[in-house]
Amino acid sequence: MTSPTASPALALDSEILARIRCPDLLTRIATPDQAASLIHDGMTIGLSGFTRAGDAKAVPLALAERAKRHPMKLTVITGASLGHNTDKLLYEAGLLARRMPFQVDDTLRAAINRGEVMFIDQHLSETVEALRSRQVGPVDMAVIEAVAITEDGGIVPSTSVGNSASFAILAPKVIIELNLTYSAAMEGMHDIYIPAKRPSRTPVPVVTCDSRVGTPYIPIDPAKIAAIVITREADSPARVATPDPATTAISAHLVDFLQNEVKKGRLPPSLNPIQAGIGVIANAVLSELNRSDFQNLRMYSEVLQDSTFELIDSGKLLYASGCSVTLSAPWAERVFNNIEAYRDRIILRPQEISNHPEVIRRLGIIAINTALEFDLYGNVNSTHVGGTHMMNGIGGSGDFARNAYLSIFVAKSQAKSGAISAVVPMASHVDHTEHDVDILITDNGLADLRGLAPRERARQVIAHCAHADYRDLLSDYFERACRERGGQTPHLLSEAFSWHERYTRTGQMKP
Amino acid sequence: MTSPTASPALALDSEILARIRCPDLLTRIATPDQAASLIHDGMTIGLSGFTRAGDAKAVPLALAERAKRHPMKLTVITGASLGHNTDKLLYEAGLLARRMPFQVDDTLRAAINRGEVMFIDQHLSETVEALRSRQVGPVDMAVIEAVAITEDGGIVPSTSVGNSASFAILAPKVIIELNLTYSAAMEGMHDIYIPAKRPSRTPVPVVTCDSRVGTPYIPIDPAKIAAIVITREADSPARVATPDPATTAISAHLVDFLQNEVKKGRLPPSLNPIQAGIGVIANAVLSELNRSDFQNLRMYSEVLQDSTFELIDSGKLLYASGCSVTLSAPWAERVFNNIEAYRDRIILRPQEISNHPEVIRRLGIIAINTALEFDLYGNVNSTHVGGTHMMNGIGGSGDFARNAYLSIFVAKSQAKSGAISAVVPMASHVDHTEHDVDILITDNGLADLRGLAPRERARQVIAHCAHADYRDLLSDYFERACRERGGQTPHLLSEAFSWHERYTRTGQMKP
């Protein structure tokens, strides 16, 4: 990681003057260390950043440095994941007492699983609701990346909105990281809408993917801006994995299914708005749509990835709404250097709105998310390896799966060269219950679980989703569970986790 | 069960003429058997009825009789549970191939658990969404209880709305059971709002518990009304259980907690609108509110029970919105014979709206639901005894728990004279994940899980919710799981269900 260039001693060049349009604020330009000195032991801080996009970069790094001299413990809340090894550095500096609501860092993950950092894994639409009502928090300081500050002190975010707006509104003090790398032409791409306080809250007025219902900046009192740090470092690029035969097979099953739904009149030819979780499989699925006949597609999602812009470029996708843009290096160059060309096709909202149950239900989203494993009856584990060890977090999958028109989960049918089956007798941890799962897809096939009772679901899952190597084992478990125990959802509790236990013992789920 | 009196041969007395205000429809008056003859093998029928209120009574009974002569298999969809042993009679007549989305009948439950009837357990807000988009169904015939038919053929429902409106709108034919027992003065108590088709769906305009946003009747083309059956039988009365020391203790913990939330400024003195699941504990909790200092309460719930009307009578409750009224015999007499006195204080909506994620999130509901069991980390089982056998169904608890301001689950700390602990190492079935559970209450105490990581949650649950007899056993499991396995959510998979297994073997969860 290279250290962000930042210094108030720099001449206030015309670029900075153009971006800080509230002249009173020019005096608040500070070094990262000066800004970090405003953060004290015991504080709860809200950092911008969602899927490693638009994350606060310089101040957390300076904070980690300061902690070597001034040990402290913080509660760190973000939108979702941070880039630049920030979570690693904060952890290694001993700073992280509590962390919410999502992370993807290897070092932090290990610390969480050792019980060293208290990690609160939340539905991503809910964090700011909990803060706003002071059920969690309060946030003492917000650190928000921006591309500009308006005449009134409004903050124009960069590549993500995430929870930044509510952090800035709720915190008594705000540090801004003004990132000169991202074009000031991003202004106009964001739509900041914050639900009113209850009991006078009114409907969220988003009725289409491209509804603009708020302001293009985060409105705050400029007196709260405690420091402005100038930075020039780009987001960490998305990790790109090339599609493989399994992801291609999954994508093909999905496209077939959607085409069939259109034929049956259950979906219009342009489909319903699409949400796709972050990651290789979801990205592959969207790329496959590019080779399909669908036209005039729309997205209402969290993170907009390479595939979103591929679909825009090919003319397939009319509009994409999200709360962050996370791109590989080549796509970042292409998109962010031509933001004017994309600005009218994309909109970035607070994650509370991109993931809002109200809007998801209203728009009738097709939600496509990734499962770690799922069971015979369609209960999905999205988070816990072996039922105990956190991977990343539930993210927005629960916001979408519960309220979507179609809730689809995808997984490769096996992992670790066949040592692990994604389809297991009983999910070792449940993030999405059978009630929230309509369609399950693996490279092996697609199980349509809509309107089916659990015993019927099991037969579909075994026949269509399980890898051939595990099919007979699953059938055997299911048939014995029906015979020996029965019930709406037959299980043999003494064997339900035997595959997971065997894997721990032998490195193989197979006997 | 007494057989409903019903006959077209009855003189068309003034009461009937006054209630069927569309004169063309008078010719459609039929016997229950005539009406039942319109239902054929293989059909999907939609029956009115929610928590045994406003259920179709005469036609299902006649159908069960007919099936003795004309065997047939049906898919039966309701709002929620039916009264009058209807599910039992339909099952015993061999009629039930498939049943959704909720039931409470002992005979049917046993058949479901034997795998004889395919039971689809759904979030109650979602059934009509699935029907409307033809992901399930279509409904061939609706059978709807009403207290009147308007000049234009609009149906004025009786004591529940449930899914009746969408059944009647979606089905090509409708049978009406006009129930003369319930006062025609119920007209005006219902508010029928149906979300528009996508993609032009707009916000559900409910912004307060007493928002009236629809019509007081179900608007349908009167040409679809295939038969009108006159009935006089009341709803099955609610089963009332007197509060016991455990339910009283649970209620007291809840009231203390709410008072404290008000003190901390997290809730206004009149609280947020309350939802309470059906059943003894929820009823006891609401009764306890009657002895509290809270004023100007409001409910936004599914079923309105005795306790709702106690609170209205005492002046504590300003307004209650639900989708059904289910009362004990004495309260039914008091309320339904004085409906004018209550009509302005209550509103009955389609269950899609009473349970709508959009409205629940907007209003900031305090959701109080009952758990069968929950685990160390706050995962809740609401449906499956021993992880396999269906009790009733998830009902609306998932609609509320996911989107509420506060999601509270209550349970007695033990059952069967202590043989069963409600707090277990791992829930044997998960309906509500840790992400959706804020507060857990037993007679033993209250665990506030907000903002806590799983290991912290476990310590709260053990200390406050577990019965003293099980506390050390739970601590032992938890400490060993942390030590031997670790992780975000420590478990020993080989022991996770050992309590359930032991209970099956010995009749005792304790070793």
- The answer to whether the CB atoms of B388 and A113 lie below 8 A apart is no
Asked whether residue B510 is domain-assigned, the answer is: no
> pLDDT for A462-473, tens place per residue?
999 999 999 999
- B170 plus B148 within the same structural domain: yes
pLDDT (0 to 100) of residue B11:
56
Asked whether residue A238 is domain-assigned, the answer is: no
- B252 plus B222 within the same structural domain: no
β A74-77/A96-100 pair status: parallel
pLDDT (0 to 100) of residue A191:
98
Three-state SS string over B365-432 comes to CEEEEECCEEECCCCEECCEECCCEECCCCCCHHHHHHHCCEEEEECCCEEHHHCEECEECCCCCCCE
Q: Which of B470, B485, B501 is the last residue in one of the domains?
A: B470
What are the distances in angstroms from CA A375 to CA A372, A396, A406, A440, B380?
A: 11, 21, 19, 10, 18
- Chain-centre distance of CA A130, in angstroms? 18
- The answer to whether the CB atoms of B203 and A362 lie below 8 A apart is yes
The residue annotated as part of the active site, out of A145, A302, A352, A434, is A302
- A422 plus A301 within the same structural domain: yes
The parent domain of residue A317 ranges over 245-470
The tokens of A380 are what?
A: 């999905």
Size of interface A-B (CB pairs under 8 A): 242
**Partner residue opposite A207 with nearest CB, options B202, B429, B487:** B202
- Residues of chain A with C-beta less than 8 angstroms from the C-beta of B123: 402, 435-436
Q: How far apart are CA A424 and CA A470, in angstroms?
A: 9
Q: How far apart are CA B257 and CA B263, in angstroms?
A: 10
Q: Which of B196, B231, B266 is the last residue in one of the domains?
A: B231
Mean pLDDT, residues A140-152 taken together: 98
Share the mean pLDDT of chain A.
Answer: 95
The dihedrals phi and psi of B375, each to the nearest 5 degrees, come to -110, 180
- B120 plus B268 within the same structural domain: no
Instruction: For residue B357, say if its preceding peptide bond is cis, omega within 30 degrees of 0.
Output: no
Local confidence pLDDT in tens for the 511 residues of chain B: 334 444 444 557 899 999 999 999 999 999 999 999 999 999 999 999 999 999 999 999 999 999 999 999 999 999 999 999 999 999 999 999 999 999 999 999 999 999 999 999 999 999 999 999 999 999 999 999 999 999 999 999 999 999 999 999 999 999 999 999 999 999 999 999 999 999 999 999 999 999 999 999 999 999 999 999 999 999 999 987 788 999 999 999 999 999 999 999 999 999 999 999 887 888 888 888 888 899 999 999 999 999 999 999 999 999 999 999 999 999 999 999 999 999 999 999 999 999 999 999 999 999 999 999 999 999 999 999 999 999 999 999 999 999 999 999 999 999 999 999 999 999 999 999 999 999 999 999 999 999 999 999 999 999 999 999 999 999 999 999 999 999 999 999 999 999 999 999 999 999 9
Closest Cα partner for A273 from A401, A162, A406? A406
Task: Report the alpha-carbon angle A59-A65-A68, nearest 5.
Answer: 140
- The answer to whether the CB atoms of A386 and B428 lie below 8 A apart is no
Closest Cα partner for A125 from A305, A319, A352? A352
Asked whether residue B172 is domain-assigned, the answer is: yes
- Residues of chain B with C-beta less than 8 angstroms from the C-beta of A405: 129, 133, 198
Task: Report the alpha-carbon angle B423-B429-B430, nearest 5.
Answer: 85
pTM for this predicted structure: 0.96
Q: Residue B488 in 3-state DSSP?
A: coil
- A205 plus A264 within the same structural domain: no
Q: DSSP readout, B199-214?
A: TS-------STT---S
- The answer to whether the CB atoms of A488 and B356 lie below 8 A apart is no
Q: How far apart are CA B358 and CA B401, in angstroms?
A: 13
What letter would DSSP give residue B3? Answer: P
> pLDDT for A340-378, tens place per residue?
999 999 999 999 999 999 999 999 999 999 999 999 999
- A303 plus A189 within the same structural domain: no
pLDDT (0 to 100) of residue A47:
98
- The answer to whether the CB atoms of A482 and B130 lie below 8 A apart is no
**Partner residue opposite B452 with nearest CB, options A120, A198, A433:** A120
What are the distances in angstroms from CA A6 to CA A11, A23, A153, A404?
A: 11, 19, 21, 44
A10 has pLDDT over 70:
no
Q: In the block, which residue shows the tokens 């207290």? A: B147
Domain count, chain B: 2
Distance from the B269 Cα atom to the nearest Cα atom in chain A, whole angstroms: 12
Helices within A93-133 (DSSP H only): 106-113, 127-132
Asked whether residue B321 is domain-assigned, the answer is: yes
pLDDT (0 to 100) of residue A240:
76
Asked whether residue B4 is domain-assigned, the answer is: no
The tokens of A157 are what?
A: 């975010």
Which CATH number does the domain housing residue A363 bear? 3.40.1080.10
- A183 plus A258 within the same structural domain: no
Q: How far apart are CA B434 and CA B431, in angstroms?
A: 10
Strand-pair partners of A304: A325
pLDDT band at residue A11 under the 50/70/90 scheme: low
- B249 plus B227 within the same structural domain: no
The residue annotated as part of the active site, out of B302, B352, B373, B434, is B302
Asked whether residue A326 is domain-assigned, the answer is: yes
What letter would DSSP give residue B72? Answer: -
- B184 plus B283 within the same structural domain: no
Distance from the A299 Cα atom to the nearest Cα atom in chain B, whole angstroms: 13
The tokens of A184 are what?
A: 């000031």
Q: In the block, which residue shows the tokens 């959802």? A: A489
- B156 plus B225 within the same structural domain: yes
Q: In the block, which residue shows the tokens 């700011």? A: A128
- A175 plus A270 within the same structural domain: no
Three-state SS string over A157-179 comes to ECCECECHHHHHHHCCEEEEEEE
Find all residues with CB under 8 Å of B15, minimum gap 6, and list them.
Answer: B180
Annotation says A302 is catalytic:
yes
Mean pLDDT, residues A251-272 taken together: 96
The tokens of B365 are what?
A: 């509901």
Task: For residue A392, say whether it is annotated as part of any ligand binding site.
Answer: yes
Distance from the A151 Cα atom to the nearest Cα atom in chain B, whole angstroms: 33
Q: Which of A169, A200, A231 is the last residue in one of the domains?
A: A231
What letter would DSSP give residue A487? Answer: S
Task: For residue B396, say whether it is annotated as part of any ligand binding site.
Answer: yes
Distance from the B74 Cα atom to the nearest Cα atom in chain A, whole angstroms: 14
- A189 plus A263 within the same structural domain: no
Helices within B230-305 (DSSP H only): 245-263, 280-290
The dihedrals phi and psi of A181, each to the nearest 5 degrees, come to -65, -35
Asked whether residue B502 is domain-assigned, the answer is: no
- The answer to whether the CB atoms of A129 and B405 lie below 8 A apart is yes
Q: Are B30 and B227 in contact (CB under 8 A)?
A: yes
Asked whether residue A337 is domain-assigned, the answer is: yes
Find all residues with CB under 8 Å of B116, minimum gap 6, and list them.
Answer: none
